Chain A
């Protein structure tokens, strides 16, 4: 059944969407979209490392992204630069270094477009195992830290005062972000991963009145985006990442209609 590249891509995409749904909600709630971008940009460096040392791509990306996240936390503590400047600094320098390293790796033929925008042809059965096993692990950990993470998202001081240890939850969440980027990079590509996190969650925000609903709609939105995006990618011969994100954007625009409706109802 997994012989067909399209079936593999679909199964991979569905696995990714289950994880990006809830994580994406936290990215929106905690205003972390540029943080996600930074981790994703650094993923290129992770990919080149994987090729240089003949290592598994997902694991290599996970390690590099985690290191970049740690460096960011250190820089935030030790410099007076604003957060967005630090994010930009790390995002673009790690992307640049990654591209420079690619230049040195002349013995490998690189599909840069595939890396940046995703390549459904590249998804192997091995990738499927990593996505589903890794994804299940991410969701399990997220479930375990849900209460402190959510409470500190609402109000850090409340969570800290009432003994929930929000700092630990935040650190674990950062690792989960690195992990989702690592497992979804082949599907969506590193330039568009943050879109996969944010757009379905933003769509869900428009049609939800409580956090559980928002997470649920975010997952559904991600699943629909993957299915619609991949079928149109096949149909129109477009890159998988942009097709999925475009489908997500389409759903977001639809969700705006619902907002308009509810505003009209109120008036």
Chain B
């Protein structure tokens, strides 16, 4: 993994311990411009921790982190807004960066919540709030997007649309995305590189490589592997401009 000019963030053998317990250890990964790297793994496997190491939220980590950008958009797994703070969606959008009104509207329209602009954050539903979080993260046109379960609580059709949006953003802005997701279907269709965590990197590679891995099967079960094989069955080829079928 030699870094090149496309590298946005790179973890080398990174780990983090809290109260003498390792939350995650020995993680190496690299996010490049225009690429989507997805972290999968069971609860407590260190996905969010890894993201927080990469973001610099945890400072006393093990190993090395190289970061080549400061333009970062982050959707945390949990955000609770205190009721003592009166905050409208509009105020939240400009939290870390000043934006023009059009930029706010554009980002909110992309995630389908522009009608909520003047609503109080406390009055949004879980799915609506999640869409606002995503809109805020993309509105500043970041070079690196870190999305920690960005579509939790979003309805099914919305989920698909948002994942499509994420894919589109990575292409349009040419930004790198570090995605944490439970949804194996999506992970496999939109990801360039998968890192499967369970306190350590249990396997990593392209989605199809990971799907074949025995440790992955042990972690997620046969069914998950089948999910992938169905997916692979559907998408084991690409179409060239001329319409011919090319094998992967």
B88 and A154 within 8 A (CB): no
A210 and B86 contacting across the interface, CB-CB below 8 Å: yes
Q: Is A164 within 8 A of B57, CB to CB?
A: no
Shortest distance from the beta carbon of A262 to any chain B beta carbon, whole Å: 12
The answer to whether A162 has its CB under 8 Å from any CB of chain B is yes
Residues of B within 8 A of A31 (CB): 84
Q: Which of A151, A159, A161 contacts B146 (CB 8 A)?
A: A161
The answer on a CB contact under 8 Å between A211 and B87 is yes
Report A138-177 residues with CB < 8 Å from chain B CB.
Answer: 147, 150-151, 153-155, 157-164
B55 proximal to A (CB < 8 A): yes
Contact B73 A208 (CB under 8 A): no
**Which segment of B10-18, B74-82, B163-171, B195-203 sits at the interface?**
B74-82
User: How would you classify the secondary structure of chain A's contact residues: helix, strand, loop or mixed?
Assistant: helix
Q: How far is the CB of A166 from chain B (nearest CB, A)?
A: 10
Q: Chain A CB within 10 Å — which of B52, B74, B82, B96 has the most?
A: B96
Q: How far does the alpha carbon of A223 sit from the alpha carbon of B84 in the complex, in Å?
A: 22
CA distance A247 to B98 in the complex (A): 37
Nearest CB in chain A: distance from B39 CB, A: 16
- Chain A interface residue count, Cβ-Cβ cutoff 8 angstroms: 25
- In the complex, whether B120 has a CB less than 8 A from a CB of chain A is yes
Determine whether A54 belongs to the interface, using a CB cutoff of 8 Å to chain B: no
Q: Mark each residue of chain B from 65 to 105: 1 if its CB lies under 8 Å from any CB of chain A, else 0.
A: 00000101110100101101111101110011100000000
* Chain B residues whose C-beta falls within 8 Å of the C-beta of A157 in the assembled complex: 52, 55, 57, 74, 76
Interface presence of A41 (CB below 8 A)? no
B56 adjacent to chain A (CB < 8 Å): yes
The residues of B that contact A209 with a CB separation of less than 8 Å are: 86, 88, 120
Residue with the greatest number of chain B CB neighbours at <10 A, chosen from A158, A160, A163: A158
Select one of B82, B88, B96, B140 contacting A164, CB under 8 A.
B96
Please state if A211 and B57 are interface contacts (CB–CB under 8 Å).
no
Decide if A214 is an interface residue (CB 8 Å cutoff): yes
Task: Report the bound CA distance from A5 to B84 in whole Å.
Answer: 38
Partner-B contacts on A (CB < 8 A): 28-29, 31, 147, 150-151, 153-155, 157-164, 205, 208-214
Q: Lowest 8 A-B CB distances belong to which pairs?
A: A161-B55, A161-B74, A162-B96, A151-B95, A163-B70, A160-B57, A29-B85, A208-B86
14 further A-B pairs in the complex, CB-CB below 8 A; given A154-B81, A158-B79, A162-B97: A29-B85, A150-B95, A155-B76, A158-B95, A161-B72, A162-B72, A162-B74, A164-B96, A209-B120, A210-B86, A210-B87, A211-B85, A211-B87, A213-B86
